[in-house]
Amino acid sequence: MTKKDPPAGNPALRSREWFGTSDRNGFMHRSWMKNQGTPNRAFDGRPVIGICNTWSELTPCNAHLRGIAEAVKLGVIENGGFPVEFPVMSLGETLLRPTAMLFRNLVSMDVEESIRANPIDGVVLLCGCDKTTPALVMGAASCDLPTIVVSGGPMLNGKFRGRDIGSGTNLFSMSEEHRAGTLSAQAFLEAEAGMSRSAGHCMTMGTASTMACLIEAMGLSLPQNGAIPAVDSRRTLLARDSGFRIVDMVREDLRLSKVLDRRSFENAIRINAAIGGSTNAVIHLLAIAGRTRIPLDLADFDRIGRHVPLLADLMPAGRYLMEDFYYAGGLPALIAELGELVDGSAATVTGRSLAQNIEGTVNWNPEVIRPRANPVVKDAGIAVLRGNLAPNGALIKPAAATPALLKHRGRAVVFEGLQDFRTRIDDPALDVDADCILVMRNVGLRGFPGMPEVGNMPLPRKLLESGVRDMVRISDARMSGTAYGTVILHVAPEASLGGPLALVRNGDFIEIDMENGRLHLDVSEEELDRRRKDWTPPPRKATRGYEGLFLDHVMQPDTGADFDFLVGQSGAEARENAH
């Protein structure tokens, strides 16, 4: 190479605008990369592959992603690419306050701008914990480069006193047993280490496993991404193979927009029902669809997924855990069991169709992955409820609910927010019985802010002590995908915006009819109008910084809770060089 001639290579690659010139800027870009020991041959026109890493010790689910990144790099190098790893903000459900959902859109912006601003030809997204997956896909979708996802994988099965326990699911159940006095404090403490005994995210079908499976279902990862345990060597192999594959995707110009289409999202809705996936998937799929401008709305989840059977017998809706799911055949085996319910013609990052990817798949354990003739639940899809209490919709997960409560009329016991709930729920004087409906408001996207996972409210202690284990609960919050119960979530519009949830009073009767999609507050329109005139908006939570931006621009859950100014794509055209 001479000073006059740029390095050889494919001029169509974005990275050539940085590394492929012989001027002062080309000198600068290559020279500074060389301080890491990068050789001249790295700039010979090889595709530059960005490895977007959400590793953080503050995100326990993702704390092993450094090792996953190294495996991806090996695959990239093996196929003639140039890997460059870069960090973005990491979102951990367990430690981050006030809630990880508050920052999902921020991370998507971090990803989008990091990709667009840097010499990247294709990107590998390393994610695991709940919000990291949608945030990274949303950001990458806005840029539309060749993209492949590698999830960190679930933990090994939890173990406690001779039985398997699942993250989140058994935390909630054991917490209620401890509060009821049927599980000792010592036993509750002992379960901590046994529940989380390896690297990885939740091994129940919580939001992390749900999103990893749905990314696979949508064709954005290699087969088996959804289920291989984090510590299984086959997870490392999948990461290496993904690194190898992304280089070919760049050469083929197989962009994210050439993989995702309407079929991808319809398959995700059906498969979410069949795996007993998280209600959080709804809000994330809507947001991803918004970035790609693929039509998708709340009604699609009810219409497309309602009558799909639950085949994965996994906690929280079933008995087993993700490790068992993988050994039984993982998502490919479940898709095969669904048969014609899934559109096998949908594209994938392998360059083959979804149907081609699962050819020859065997279901090795029909107890874990049920055949369609013997489902866990016949109609398992997330149901959308509407009515005068939720004009823009609310969600319920029938597979995790008590069947007898899916058609219910009860007296409202209202809590003004999370602090009010925590202060009063165990008060012996609380006027509540098993037929009542617990209502919590001002815990939505703007009201909290961030819409925390508190919708599965703990039951009153006095009812737990009497043997009650489920009640209808309604809120404008979310709940963990690991949670269970007859819980109505994502009520829209939320209370802090003056939605009808803000008008409910103690003693009002509420009717739920899941089969007919109805959520009704049994109060006359005249009375609601009077209450609406008397209603005062709660004080604004923030005026500056990111929280202020969030409050100004976040949309409601029925449209994906993205920022209004982020809907759609901006592309990845390299910007003018300022040097």
Average pLDDT over residues 264-284: 97
Q: What is the pLDDT of residues 11-37, one digit of tens each?
A: 689 999 999 999 999 999 999 999 999
**Length of the chain (residues):** 579
Q: How many CB atoms lie within 10 A of CB 564?
A: 11
- Cα Rg, the chain, nearest whole Å: 24
What pLDDT does 6 receive?
A: 47
Find out whether the peptide bond into 449 is cis, omega within 30 degrees of 0: yes
- The closest alpha carbon to 272, from 238, 302, 237, belongs to 302
Burial 343-382 (b: 16+ CB within 10 A, else e): bbebbbbbeebbeebbeebebeebebbbeeeebbbebbbb
Q: Tokens 């050469």 label which residue?
A: 251
What pLDDT does 1 receive?
A: 38
Per-residue pLDDT band at 7 (split at 50, 70, 90): low
| Secondary structure of residue 86 in the 3-state scheme | strand
What pLDDT does 146 receive?
A: 98
What pLDDT does 102 receive?
A: 97
Model confidence at 574: pLDDT above 90? no
Assign a CATH topology to domain 46-156+198-357.
Rossmann fold (3.40.50)
Identify whether the C-beta of residue 357 lies closer than 8 Å to the C-beta of residue 259. no
Identify whether the C-beta of residue 91 lies closer than 8 Å to the C-beta of residue 107. yes
Average pLDDT over residues 205-223: 97
What pLDDT does 576 receive?
A: 79
Model confidence at 500: pLDDT above 50? yes
What pLDDT does 11 receive?
A: 65
- The domain locations on the chain are 46-156+198-357, 159-195, 385-538
Please give the mean pLDDT across all residues of the chain. 95
Model confidence at 402: pLDDT above 50? yes
What pLDDT does 79 receive?
A: 98
What pLDDT does 522 receive?
A: 98
What pLDDT does 5 receive?
A: 47
279 contact partners, CB below 8 Å, separation of at least 6: 382, 395, 396, 397, 478, 479, 481, 489, 490
Find out whether the peptide bond into 428 is cis, omega within 30 degrees of 0: no
Model confidence at 569: pLDDT above 90? no
Q: What angle do CA 572, 578, 579 make, to 5 degrees?
A: 125
What pLDDT does 95 receive?
A: 95
Q: What is the pLDDT of residues 352-395, one digit of tens each?
A: 999 999 999 999 999 999 999 999 999 999 999 999 999 999 99
Give the percent of the chain with pLDDT over 70.
Answer: 98
What pLDDT does 185 receive?
A: 92
What pLDDT does 4 receive?
A: 39
351 contact partners, CB below 8 Å, separation of at least 6: 248, 249, 252, 254
DSSP string, 344-378: TT-B-TTSSBHHHHTTT---S-TTTB--TTS-SBS
Give the percent of the chain with pLDDT over 90.
Answer: 94
Identify whether the C-beta of residue 405 lies closer than 8 Å to the C-beta of residue 459. no
Identify whether the C-beta of residue 318 lies closer than 8 Å to the C-beta of residue 376. yes
Identify whether the C-beta of residue 279 lies closer than 8 Å to the C-beta of residue 397. yes
Per-residue pLDDT band at 341 (split at 50, 70, 90): very high
**Which residues are registered as beta bridge partners of 387?**
390
Biggest CA-to-CA distance, the chain: 85
CATH number of the structural domain 385-538: 3.50.30.80
28 contact partners, CB below 8 Å, separation of at least 6: 579
